[in-house]
Amino acid sequence: MTLTKEFASKLAVAFVAAAMVVSAFAPAAQAQSSEDLQQMINDLLAQIAGLQSQIGGGESMMTASVCPYTWTRSLSTGTEGADVMKLQEFLNADADTRVGVSGAGSAGLETPYYGPATAAAVSKFQVKYRSDILSPANLVNPTGFFGPSSLAKANALCVSAPAEEEGEEGEEGEEGEEEGEEEGNGSVSLSGEADLDTFETDSASDDELEEGAEDAEIAEVTIEFSNGDAEISRIDLALEGTGDEQDPWDVFETISLWIDGDKVAEENADDEDDYLDEDNGSLRFSGLDIIAMEDEEVEIVVAATLQNNLDGVNDGEAWTIEFDALRFFDADGVASTEESTDDLGDSVGEAFTIDEEGNEDELIAKSSSNDPDSTTFQVEDDKKSDWYNVFSFDLDTDDSVNDIELNTLVVNVATTGATYTVLVDDAELVIDGVTIDDVTVVATGNEAVLTFDVDGDVTIDAGDRVEAQLMLRFKSLAPGDEGATVAGSIDSLTTAIADAEGADDLGNSQLSGAATGDAHTLRTTGIVTETTDTSAVVTTGDNAGDDYATFEIDVEVTAFEQDVRISTDYASSTSFSIVDGSGSVVAGTATPVLTSTADENGGFFEINEGETETLTLQVTFDSTSTGAAARLLLGSIIFDETGTATNTDDVTETLLPATDYRTDVVTLVN
């Protein structure tokens, strides 16, 4: 067909359609109600759409300049964004679905605002592709909501340019004809005399809402009919508060119904006049046209959008939603209203609570699996050291609804052998990879309080757990401060320890947890130790008191910046004890043996600078009491550089943490 002929054909269709409207409307105006006339107009418009489809304009989207394009979120009245403008461009590419003929939203004048005109165009789109969008959700009427079903269809059409679907008039033609026979002018063929068999309600998966929540689920409804199909036209429900605030119009913005992720109906709920009965907070959803086929469940989700800045909402206001009545039509158009089937008319209803925005936000300090074990930091005697990770802990937002922004955080540092100001040159806090170096230090003796000014540079996503690292750089170490220790900790979180905010500033009840790190030793020369193995074995004798235990601890010793000599005499090179589970000394006879993988020379084990050797302490222990619980605890290693008999240059390395240098507890029964 030429463009001229095609134009003429369409023009003829338009004249026929206009004549149909005039001829049908004039005689009917005197005898029909306004509702009947509106229905007649709708039927004629549907016929016009059918005629247009026959000339090639009714079943395919025209080429849209926006395609290919993919929409990734649902859109509704009031939504703004570039994707709204893309949607308008897409709809305007088809005369059947265009937003407007002129003005804002029309072709070439698309806007990023989803207004009533856009909603109307989406409704046209839904009707045009009824079988893909409305029918699967058991809907007759369009919703104007660009939800999952509409979005999926638009994406399928706009996957490439042009957006015309192949086979609409060809291989899908027979299917289209079948749908036309079944659906006619927008109706679905029903059969039987339907009876409401099931109306069951359930609470939503998350029954705790926050003020300002949008389309938050508050209940789920399952409906099923027997003996025939039904068209659900009306649902009455009621919102009742039992807390300080009992007027729903002061709490709710809108209440909506959803099927398969699509919003099928919405009622304003923020005005007292919106309610059928102000005493019990009744709302009516009418004109639903939800199709329920016989013996097939229809699941409806009820959602609420809440107002912001609710007065009196602190620890949670209790609300219930009750379902009062359901009205439906069967195949013969007989209307029925049910008020008592299953959960209909149940005064208990489904409960939910409304909290102050940010009420569930929280920040918890926790121990980190990456907190460094106690070790020896090699520092300098004539310059500043490198940066060392002294302490790691986690910050967990756990069940927070909102992201948590951190403003300040306080960390403690404890030292032995010298004060913080003598030992530490500078401090930084690294939180989730962000370095915070703005710190104020208040030091008193061997205790220092470090306040880090995060200033909102760190935001922890809701439900995330991130690591924080306390990094210290040390001053040159004086000879008298060799062996000093340093350890970090964070006290129980309160507003005095952390300043953080989610939807609002976090209070003491929303801040919790604490963590403590291992102590680390500072040396310019000496040894680094690490436990590699521990064991405790009980040998049972034949007679009472014959039991004995054999304990063994293996320690790797690395010498740095000096050679190390350790006496082969355990009494001169180690300090150990046999203790019970609570740390009290256990009486008995201990027989120690000290061995090493290091070379032995003149009564000393020799470990040269940069080398690592294993030192093994084995102790056989016989308790003086029956039923004693015992373990071996290795407290320190004594070494020097020269390996002389004098003690003038001996160095005692305290082994930390003590929990790493002990065996399991065993019980000597006999």
Query: pLDDT (tens digit, 9 = 90+) per residue, 426-480?
Result: 999 999 999 999 999 999 989 999 999 999 999 999 999 999 999 999 999 999 9
**What is the reported pLDDT for 1?**
36
Report the pLDDT averaged over residues 549-569.
95
Using CB atoms within 10 Å of the CB of residue 347, give its burial: 0 to 12 exposed, 13 to 18 middle, 19+ buried: exposed
Which stretch, 4-8, 17-21, 291-295, has highest mean pLDDT?
A: 291-295
The torsion angle over the Cα atoms of residues 133, 139, 143 and 146, rounded to 10 degrees, is -20
Please check the confidence at residue 165 and state whether its pLDDT lies above 60. no
The CATH topology of domain 526-668 is: Immunoglobulin-like (2.60.40)
- Stronger pLDDT, 469 or 625, i.e. the higher one: 469
* Conformation bin of residue 589: beta by default, left when phi > 0, alpha when psi is -120 to 50: beta
Neighbouring CB atoms inside 10 A of 402's CB total 17
User: What SS3 class is residue 377?
Assistant: strand
351-377 pLDDT per residue, tens: 998 887 777 889 999 999 999 999 999
Distances (CA, A) of 412 to 43, 369, 373, 424, 439: 77, 19, 18, 13, 12
What token pair was written down for 515? 């963590």
Report the pLDDT averaged over residues 477-505.
94
Report the pLDDT averaged over residues 339-344.
94
Q: What H or E segment, with its residue span, contains residue 16?
A: helix 3-28
DSSP for 197-251? EEEEEEE-S--EEETT-SSEEEEEEEEEEEEE-EEEEEEEEEEEE-SS---GGGT
Report the pLDDT averaged over residues 185-189.
54
Q: Residue 608: which residues within 8 A CB-CB, separation 6 or more?
A: 559, 563, 564
Whole-angstrom distance, CA of residue 289 vs CA of residue 79: 26
Report the pLDDT averaged over residues 377-389.
95
Class of domain 363-523: mainly beta
The CATH topology of domain 192-355 is: Immunoglobulin-like (2.60.40)
Please check the confidence at residue 52 and state whether its pLDDT lies above 50. no
Closest to 91 measured CA to CA, from 185, 163, 25: 163
User: What SS3 class is residue 367?
Assistant: strand
Please check the confidence at residue 298 and state whether its pLDDT lies above 90. yes
Report the pLDDT averaged over residues 592-599.
96
Whole-angstrom distance, CA of residue 75 vs CA of residue 113: 10
Report the pLDDT averaged over residues 167-192.
47
Beta strands in 344-464 (DSSP E): 350-355, 363-367, 376-378, 387-396, 404-416, 424-431, 434-436, 439-444, 447-460
Asked whether 586 and 630 are in contact (CB, 8 A), the reply is: yes
- Stronger pLDDT, 542 or 49, i.e. the higher one: 542
Neighbouring CB atoms inside 10 A of 44's CB total 17
Instruction: Determine which of 28-42, 231-245, 377-391 has the lowest per-residue pLDDT on average.
Output: 28-42
**What is the reported pLDDT for 544?**
63
DSSP H helix total and E strand total for the chain: 9, 36
Q: What percent of the chain has pLDDT over 90?
A: 63
Asked whether 633 and 580 are in contact (CB, 8 A), the reply is: no
Closest to 236 measured CA to CA, from 183, 195, 199: 199
Closest to 9 measured CA to CA, from 50, 67, 51, 69: 51
**What is the reported pLDDT for 206?**
76
DSSP for 125-140? HHHHTHHHHTGGGTBS
**What is the reported pLDDT for 37?**
54
Amino acid making up residue 43: D
Q: Share the mean pLDDT of the chain.
A: 85
Asked whether 634 and 617 are in contact (CB, 8 A), the reply is: yes
Whole-angstrom distance, CA of residue 270 vs CA of residue 523: 70
**What is the reported pLDDT for 308?**
82
For residue 54, which phi and psi values (nearest 5 degrees)? -70, -25
Please check the confidence at residue 171 and state whether its pLDDT lies above 70. no
Please check the confidence at residue 337 and state whether its pLDDT lies above 70. yes
Please check the confidence at residue 60 and state whether its pLDDT lies above 60. no
Neighbouring CB atoms inside 10 A of 491's CB total 17
For residue 501, which phi and psi values (nearest 5 degrees)? -145, 140
**What is the reported pLDDT for 51?**
46
How remote is the C-alpha of 305 from its chain's centroid? Answer: 20
525-549 pLDDT per residue, tens: 999 999 999 999 999 876 666 789 9
User: What SS3 class is residue 331?
Assistant: coil
State how beta strands 564-567 and 548-560 pair.
unpaired
**What is the reported pLDDT for 180?**
36
Residue length of the chain: 670
Report the pLDDT averaged over residues 232-251.
87
Banded model confidence at residue 244, pLDDT cuts 50, 70, 90: low
Q: 56-183 falls under which CATH superfamily?
A: PGBD-like superfamily/PGBD (1.10.101.10)
What token pair was written down for 637? 């290693």
Tell me if the pTM is above 0.85.
no
Report the pLDDT averaged over residues 638-653.
80
Instruction: Determine which of 19-28, 459-468, 510-519 has the lowest per-residue pLDDT on average.
Output: 19-28
- Stronger pLDDT, 43 or 134, i.e. the higher one: 134
Banded model confidence at residue 236, pLDDT cuts 50, 70, 90: very high
Report the pLDDT averaged over residues 289-299.
92
Closest to 119 measured CA to CA, from 75, 168, 67: 75
Residue 299's DSSP bridge partners are 222
Distances (CA, A) of 439 to 242, 436, 446: 49, 8, 18
Banded model confidence at residue 289, pLDDT cuts 50, 70, 90: confident
